[in-house]
């Protein structure tokens, strides 16, 4: 990501966000990160997996939007065709960043070179008096909430990892020409481990609000079939015959 600078009315008073910026950003993303609180809303559209971010090694929750890299089956032209729109799409191209003059604190950051910004057309960030517009206020509220949501997601994933509830899988995708592509790095819920948990642990997960999210993760794998149907109906995508989920060989070895 390019360097962010702090958003302020003095420098960015006439800055606008071009329409459908979040959709354009999502168009070349085959996975979109979610917060734990989004799982229940996203489960009706996407297969959702726990993954590790390759650059940092940190865990993330990811909605799968395509079997092919750099493509998104939920973007048609400049239209988003899923029922749920992930928060990251709603807040883009604004981000939280560490406030430059504060040891602890956050501010809104922008990449001034991002083509999602314009000085001519789009949603204004400030009014004629330099005050935040309703649009900017709404996005700021979502970004402020994202600090807490990020912490909740981290705690959720770490607790599931401690309980060995993740099952690393390989997704084998058999294409129309019978070639097989393997998608690695996906983690879903291990049902055997879940069923073996004590009543005390299940109560703990329920009280923390984790149990509903766990079952939603399990249910979301059913959306793989819907993703296949979407891919086979879209031009520019290779038709899929079938898919198979296998426990990852590395995980088995461990």
Pairing of strands 48-52, 59-64: antiparallel
- Cα–Cα distance, 110 to 21 (Å, whole number): 13
Q: What is the distance between the alpha carbons of residues 134 and 128, in angstroms, rounded to a whole number? A: 13
Beta bridge partners of 246: 170
pLDDT digit string, tens, across residues 2-15: 689 999 999 999 99
| 185/49 Cα distance (integer angstroms) | 9
Read off the pLDDT of residues 28-79 as tens digits, 9 standing for 90 and up.
Answer: 999 999 999 999 999 999 999 999 876 667 899 999 999 999 999 999 989 9
pTM metric for this prediction: 0.90
Q: Of 209, 208, 205, 207, which is closest to residue 193 (Cα–Cα)? A: 205
Judged on CB neighbours under 10 Å (0-12, 13-18, 19+), 149 is middle
- The whole-number average pLDDT for the span 211-223 is 97
**Could you tell me the maximum CA-CA distance found in the chain, to the nearest angstrom?**
63
Task: Assign 98 a pLDDT band (cuts: 50, 70, 90).
Answer: confident
Alpha-carbon Rg of the chain, whole angstroms? 20
Closest by Cα among 108, 113, 109, 115 to 137: 108
Q: How many angstroms separate the CA atoms of 37 and 193, rounded? A: 23
Q: What distance in Å separates the CA atoms of residue 61 and residue 53, rounded to the nearest whole number? A: 10
């Amino acid at each position: 990501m390019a360097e962010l600078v702090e958003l302020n009315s003095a420098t960015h008073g006439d800055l606008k966000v071009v329409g459908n910026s979040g959709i354009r950003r999502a168009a070349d993303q085959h996975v979109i990160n979610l917060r734990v609180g989004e799982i229940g809303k996203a489960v009706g559209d996407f297969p959702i997996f726990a993954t590790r971010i390759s650059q940092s090694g940190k865990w993330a929750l990811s909605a799968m939007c395509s079997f092919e890299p750099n493509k998104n089956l939920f973007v048609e032209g400049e239209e988003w065709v899923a029922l749920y729109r992930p928060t990251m799409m709603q807040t883009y191209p604004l981000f939280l960043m560490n406030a430059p003059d504060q040891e602890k604190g956050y501010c809104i950051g922008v990449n001034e070179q991002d083509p999602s910004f314009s000085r001519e057309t789009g949603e204004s960030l400030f009014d004629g008096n330099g005050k935040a517009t309703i649009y900017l206020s709404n996005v700021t509220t979502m970004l402020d909430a994202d600090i807490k949501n990020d912490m909740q997601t981290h705690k959720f994933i770490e607790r599931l990892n401690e309980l060995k509830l993740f099952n690393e899988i390989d997704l084998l995708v058999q294409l129309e020409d019978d070639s097989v592509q393997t998608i690695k790095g996906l983690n879903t819920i291990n049902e055997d481990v879940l069923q073996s948990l004590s009543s005390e642990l299940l109560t703990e997960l329920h009280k923390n609000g984790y149990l509903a999210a766990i079952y939603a993760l399990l249910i979301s794998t059913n959306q793989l079939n819907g993703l296949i149907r979407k891919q086979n109906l879209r031009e520019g995508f290779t038709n899929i015959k079938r898919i198979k989920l296998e426990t990852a060989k590395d995980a088995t070895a461990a």
